[in-house]
Structure 1
Amino acid sequence: MARTKEFDPDAALQSALELFWRRGYEATSVADLVEHLGIGRASIYATFGSKHELYLKALDRYAESVDPGLVEELSRPGPALPAVREVVRRFAAEAGSSEARRAGCFVTNTAAELGPHDEVAARRVQSSWDRLETLLYASLARAQAQGELPVERDPRALARMLLVVLQGVRVVGKASTDPARVRDAAEQALSLLT
């Protein structure tokens, strides 16, 4: 007879996400997960698979929780360019906060830590970046169609530039104690949208 789980797998996954996000993949041992989640090693393996599989599930959970808000922000009816500006400024403000210096963005952290040598994690990061670029492109193309963005501007190239800037401010924000550094970079990028 199968035993009933004595823990909530959803809550355990969220707890693992928080630990991996704060400490990174390599710095988080299975013993750390056992202690932090409050469940046994065998239960972790039976429910989530390996540490790597648990990490990828946590990364997927993070991406699912972040993307819906961006879709809503960038898909509002009306002028599109103000929404793009708002998103870029919000990313910069978050990157310049003291919370960002502690945790940063889980996707960006994964890109830096695992991207160069973990193809599966790199594909997850790329997928997240592709979604963000597509959202930015759709908003910029709509802005252009509505006359907010000059016709000679390339919405795809601008979306790619903004993606790189947003990821860059997240990286710089983790180590910089000067919020003006990321804020000024974001504003310079936004000046290219006129």
Structure 2
Amino acid sequence: MARNREFDVDKAVDRAMDLFWRRGYAATSLQDLLGEMSIGSGSLYAAFGSKEALYARALERYCSVYTYGFAERLENATDVRTAVRSVLLEMVEADLAEPERGCLVVNAATERSDDPTTADRVAAALRLLESALAGALERAKARGELSPDKDPAELARFLTTFVQGLRVVGKARLGRAFVDDAVSTALRALD
């Protein structure tokens, strides 16, 4: 007879996500995960199958919180410029507070680009971000907030790329002045 799980799977995924986010996949050992999640190896394998599968779940959780959250804010924005600026500055603040973390999507793309599951998850997150930006920019154009000569799809691709670069620059610790100037320049693309 199988035993019932004696731990909260969602909390365990959140703890694993935090650990992978801080250390990366390769630097996070199975023992690190077991300690962080306060479970035994049998429970980890029964619930997730493997370290790799747990990483996929953790990356999915990160995307559901951060990427989908960003997309939702853009969807509900009444002023696209304000919404984009606000989200970019929140990223800057997060990176200044904890530069070693960066963005788990960027970290995954650079550390595990050879893993098809990770590459697919990263690509899906970036496509979602691009789509949310394009939709918000289309709505802004229809409201007259964006010049008629601007292409929302092109701007969305640029901003999606900029966001990832901004997160890398944050990890490089180039400082507030550097990133503030970059954000200001990126926002001028909407003029």
Alignment of 1:49-60 (within 5 A): 49-60=49-60
Question: Do the aligned residues in 1 keep the contact of 2:74 with 2:83 (CA within 8 Å)?
Answer: yes
Describe the shift of the 1:156–1:15 C-alpha distance in structure 2 as closer, same or farther (beyond 3 A).
same
2:106 to 108, 113, 128: 108
Contact 1:92 1:166 in 2 (8 A): no
SS in 1 for 2:102: coil
Paired residues in the alignment total 191
Q: Deviation at 1:31?
A: 1.5
Q: Following the alignment from structure 1 to structure 2, what is the Cα–Cα distance between the partners of residues 132 and 68?
A: 8
Percentage of identical aligned residues: 45
Q: Tell me, which stretches of 5 or more residues in structure 1 are unaligned?
A: none
The alpha carbon displacement at 1:94 in A equals: 2.8
In the alignment, the residues of structure 1 paired with residue 53 and residue 33 of structure 2 have an alpha-carbon distance, to the nearest angstrom, of: 13
Residue identity opposite 2:97 in structure 1: S
Q: Which residue identity lines up with residue 54 of structure 2 in the other structure?
A: L
CA apart distance, 1:5: 1.8
TM-score, normalised by the number of residues in structure 2: 0.93
Q: Equivalents in 2 of 1:157, 1:148: separation in Å?
A: 16
Q: Displaced runs of 4+ in structure 1, greater than 4 A? A: none
2-side partners of 1:154 and 1:181: how far apart?
27
Deviates more, 1:121-130 or 1:69-78: 69-78
Letter in 1 for 2:90: R
Name 1:148's counterpart in structure 2. 145
Q: Cα gap change, 1:14/1:193 in structure 2, threshold over 3 Å: closer, same or farther? A: same
Give the superposition deviation at 1:77.
Answer: 5.5
SS at match of 1:102: coil
Matching residue within 128, 146, 157 for 1:131: 128
CA distance in 1, matches of 2:72, 2:164: 20
Structure 2 residue runs without a partner (length 5+): none
Number of the residue aligned with 2:6: 6
